[in-house]
Structure 1
Amino acid sequence: MSTTESTRVSRARRALDVVVAAVALVLSAPVVVAAAVAIRTTSPGPVLFRQERVGAGGRPFTILKLRTMTSGGEGLDITMGRDPRVTRVGALLRRTSLDELPQLLNVLRGEMTLVGPRPETVALARRYPSGCRWVLEATPGLTGPAQIRMRDSRVLEPPLAAVSSAPAPDPETWYLEHVVPRRVDLDAGYLCAPSLSRTVALLLETAVYLLHPQ
């Protein structure tokens, strides 16, 4: 798939973004405040996590999340299962996706949309397989086909080496070679025809998943 008009957010989708994000921010404000208090009282560091991600047309923007890791922790650009950097409160926020709520501000700013591809880090985007790079032209989404159907952190786990003496696969290389193509294939199905009805359907599917995670 190549970069086309379908990777851009239509006026109808943008209107939906603004209305839903504004309402969701108001309704979720008490939850965000409670989460902020929990973060500050259990782990030193800021409440918000800010990181440069790749936005529409490959332009970088600063994504906002509730901080779920130890402040200043260095490591991989992907989060593995049982990642030691994740705090106890952070693990709960990740499990319930509450850490994503500040991204509603990114949606209001037009840096993200409600439904679209996963917002990738700049470092990993530079290493994307050539056949997958087109997806970086699209506006990244708060949710999307790949985020819904590949949420389990185990999809990021490289397989154990068949021989114990063999070196384990590099997690980021595994992610780029095996996970990214699968995610892009899922996103392509939506981006080829990102109608308002399909957008609403994916939002409803996301809500069902969050209420009844598998």
Structure 2
Amino acid sequence: MLLVLTRFFDILFALFGLIVGFPLLLLVALLGFFDTGSPIFRQERVGRNKEPFVLVKFRTMKVGTASVASHLASSSAITPFGNFLRRTKLDELPQLWNVLKGEMSLVGPRPCLFNQQELINEREKRGVYAVRPGITGLAQVNEIDMSTPELLAETDDRMIKDLTLGKYFSYIIQTVTGKGSGDRVRGG
């Protein structure tokens, strides 16, 4: 029953966010076009049951930046506008499309790249890939990112096992109100 309810709210909130937020999405895309020339970032990620899907975000790094986990990317690759998008979490808004399509949930483990083998192994051991990846969750509001694969997988597992409708809403509210800072990026 919880899966049905969370999917219902995923669809409802994603649809609402895309419709109501459409002017903001257009504005960010336009500003992003002037920032990088390519405001939409697409990247293949590991989805439910380890199926690949294409995650969409607003671009925060220079075009041509290596396709690595954020904690392995250089902070010098982040544009000034990209820094603002990351700080405000506006770069995540296009993922509402992934949620609407059923590739993601609002709440779930953040989808990793296929080259993050250590994290994939840790998540696979714990059955984390049985659920849709999410935009936010327990790890994100507690600032646990992909630089600590075992801790992240353990936290994802705990979130999945303990998830209630109340916690689902709590993670969303905490994220919207600014708790958590997203994936770290190395200096330089």
Contact 1:53 1:63 in 2 (8 A): yes
Are 2:64 and 1:95 equivalent residues in the alignment? no
Structure 1 residue 35, shift from structure 2 partner: 1.1
Query: Could you tell me which residue of structure 2 aligns to residue 41 of structure 1?
Result: 34
Unmatched 5+ residue regions in structure 1? 1-8, 157-174
Unaligned runs of 5+ in 2: 182-188
- CA–CA distance in 2 between the matches of 1:128 and 1:203? 24
Give CA-to-partner distance per residue, 1:46-67, whole Å, 9 cap, x none. Answer: 2210000011001010000001
Change (3 A) 1:82 1:121: closer
Tell me if the contact between 1:115 and 1:143 (Cα under 8 Å) persists in the aligned partners.
yes
Amino acid at match of 2:171: L
**Residue 139 of structure 1: how far off its partner (Å):** 1.0
Structure with higher Rg: it is 1
Alignment check: 8 A CA contact 2:119 2:153 kept? no
Who is 1:21 aligned against?
Answer: 14
Cα offsets for 1:139-194 (capped at 9, x unmatched)? 1001101111116xxx67xxxxxxxxxxxxxxxxxx2xxx1222222222220132
Give the whole-Å Cα distance in 1 for the aligned partners of 2:56 and 2:120: 26
**Superposition misfits of 4+ residues, deviation over 4 angstroms:** none
Q: Is the 8 A contact 1:55 1:137 kept in 2?
A: no
Distance 1:123 1:131 in 2: 13
- Per the normalisation by structure 2, the TM-score is 0.84
Instruction: Name the amino acid aligned to 1:73.
Output: T
| Root mean square deviation of aligned Cα | 2.4
Change (3 A) 1:132 1:25: same
Could you state the TM-score of these two structures normalised by the residue count of structure 1? 0.75
- The separation in 2 between residues aligned to 1:129 and 1:141, in whole angstroms, is 15
SS of 1:32's partner is helix
**Aligned length in residues:** 179
**Residue by residue, what CA displacement relative to the aligned partner does 1:112-160 show, whole Å, maximum 9, x if unpaired?**
0010001111111x33374432323321001101111116xxx67xxxx
Quote the offset at 1:24 in angstroms: 1.1
For 1:123 and 1:43, the matched residues in 2 are separated by: 25
